[in-house]
Amino acid sequence: MQSPEAKLEQLGIVLGEPKAAVANYLPYVISGNQLFISGQISMGADGLVHGRLGENMTTEQGQAAARLCAINLITQMKGALGSLDRVKRIVKLGGFVNAAPDFVEIPQVINGCSDLMVDAFGDKGRHARSAVACPVLPLGVAVEIDAIVEFE
């Protein structure tokens, strides 16, 4: 079985340094054998991905933004646990999409994150999830996603 880090490398994904919190909260908290990761926003090497789905972004652009959130979540996992091999299960994702009032493809947008979790972690990446629309997100980003992860 291939490690999550090897799978990410095959996908051309290089994990950088975990992002610091931008306000009065911690990037993650460990309680027992669970890792609670604060919301990770759609930010990549080129900066923040701003926009509102159904207004000035397509579903596909939203999925790409959600994938950036997944990369940032995985980066936090590695920073907190030292190795992605310690991940026992992605338990739950909470997805938030900056969306126009009539945009209804919220689950499809968050699939951009969910799909990468399964690609990286296999069956351990299958998770429970919520996906909701918001009229605005911090810093005007398109997507924000948080996670609960079980580890050993």
pLDDT digits (tens, 9 = 90+) for 124-139: 999 999 999 999 999 9
Q: Which CATH class is domain 26-151?
A: alpha beta
Can you give the pLDDT at residue 41? 97
Give the residue from 80, 89, 105 showing the smallest Cα distance to 28: 80
- Tell me how long the chain is: 152
Question: Is residue 1 scored above 80 in pLDDT?
Answer: no
Q: Which amino acid is at 6?
A: A
Give me the percent of the chain exceeding a pLDDT of 70: 100
Residue 64 is classified by DSSP as H
Indicate the residue type of 65: A
Report the sign of the C-alpha dihedral through residues 14, 17, 18, 23, in that order.
negative
CA dist., res. 24 & res. 65, Å (int): 24
In the predicted model, is pLDDT for residue 33 greater than 80?
yes
pTM tops 0.85, yes or no: yes
Q: Considering the chain, what percentage of its residues have pLDDT values greater than 90?
A: 97
* Cα 106 from chain centroid (whole Å): 14
- Alpha-carbon gap, residue 35 to 3, rounded angstroms: 19
Torsion region of 139: left, alpha or beta (phi above 0 gives left; psi -120 to 50 gives alpha) = left
Question: What digits encode the pLDDT tens for the residues 86-126?
Answer: 999 999 999 999 999 999 999 999 999 999 999 999 999 99
Q: Are 34 and 148 in contact (CB under 8 A)?
A: yes
Q: Is the CB of residue 99 less than 8 Å from the CB of residue 134?
A: yes
Domain boundaries, the chain: 26-151
